[in-house]
Amino acid sequence: MTSSTATMCSLRCFIIWVKSLTIFCCISFSIGCPQHSDPSFNNSKDIIRSIFQTKASSAAMANIRMIDIAVNFTDGMFKGIYNGKQYHVGDIQAVLKRAWSAGVERIIVTGGSLEESKEALAIAETDARLFCTVGVHPTRCKEFEDSGDPEKHLQDLLTLVKEGKEKGKVVAIGECGLDYDRLHFCPSDTQKKYFEKQFELAYTMKLPMFLHMRAAAQDFCDILQRNKDRFVTGGVAHSFTGSAEDRDKLLSFSNVFIGVNGCSLKTAENLEVVKGIPVERMMIETDSPYCDIKNTHAGIRYVRSSWPSKKKEKHDQECLVKGRNEPCLVRQVLEVVAGAKGIADIDQLGNTLYHNTCRVFFPHDLDSAAEALLASGREAL
């Protein structure tokens, strides 16, 4: 055998050994090995680097306190149903396990109709760390009139809010507001009428509001202004996707916070708008199972954490379902906000956003020092 042949054989053996080691590492650390659809993420060095980065980020998660303010656990996807077809068993408990492990301390389950709000309350009662909202989404406001007695429908909502608040589970009225992107579901006049009606619930029960605003900033803010005396506990305009002008209109109300999720981080323009939201006026959310951060989004470059995922047809309780967002991924929203705003101390950012959320939804649990800082009007970062 010539020396060159021997060298080639040695090189082949070394390559085989490296590939074997890579496979072994991926199996050994499969819980922490993320699944990437990025075609550039295919060589051994990337895989091994990702394993150790993910392990490191998993360890760091324990230091960050997070609250996901918007999870649609009443959605069929968490029951394993996609487009009307059953693909797997319901897996909320597995989803929650991942969320708690990621550093999520509380989750607010959103209600979008009377019946959905009843279900949200029932889900919230299954875990001390779950809470919910009660209200009617703008695209579903026709249910007031379809009920045959709009005032009774409002009273039924009030009864549910009272029940849930007594149990310590209902923390806001909503999801309510205006959505002019989807007028085919409900006309604007009906939306505006029953958006205003739901301020009665907030005022009567002394609860904040969980707000929805899509392509309706002027009418939305006009209604907030008209009802400012009934909007004393404030609220959050969640899943914000508006312009810088829309952002500034919301920020003109001192008791309105802005909720950010994957839909808020799609484009470079979105990131610029988010950069202009003061951290002491921001909250984070997933709005899962929707609004995940996709590989095509401008914010993806700031994402550092990941979880293994599989298609719904190959459902595995230990993995995320591809294309379905879930609460553990609120960590990614935090990472993108930190990256876009140039904030190096992600722990401090997480704590500030956590205290913002407590300030509105869990005021009895708000750390007194953080409250003093927020009340002073100074940024925590």
Residue range 115-142, pLDDT digits in tens: 999 999 999 999 999 999 999 999 999 9
Query: For residue 16, how far is the Cα from the chain centroid?
Result: 43
Residues in the chain: 381
Q: What is the pLDDT of residue 364?
A: 87
What is the overall mean pLDDT for the chain?
87
d(Cα 172, Cα 165) in Å, to the nearest integer?
9
Q: What is the pLDDT of residue 119?
A: 99
AA letter at 162: K
Q: Which is nearest to 274 in space by CA: 341, 349, 356, 374? A: 341
- Which parts of the chain have pLDDT scores under 50? 1-11, 13-60, 369, 377-380
Q: What is the pTM of this model?
A: 0.83
In the numeric block, the tokens 């009139």 are attached to 145
Q: Give just the sign of the alpha carbon dihedral 161, 165, 168, 173.
A: positive
Domain 50-375 has CATH 3.40.50.11810: no
**Domain boundaries of the chain, sorted by first residue:** 50-375
Q: At what angle do helices 244-251 and 217-226 cross, to 10 degrees?
A: 0
d(Cα 221, Cα 242) in Å, to the nearest integer?
13
Q: What is the pLDDT of residue 366?
A: 73
Q: What is the pLDDT of residue 381?
A: 52
Q: What percent of the chain has pLDDT over 70?
A: 80
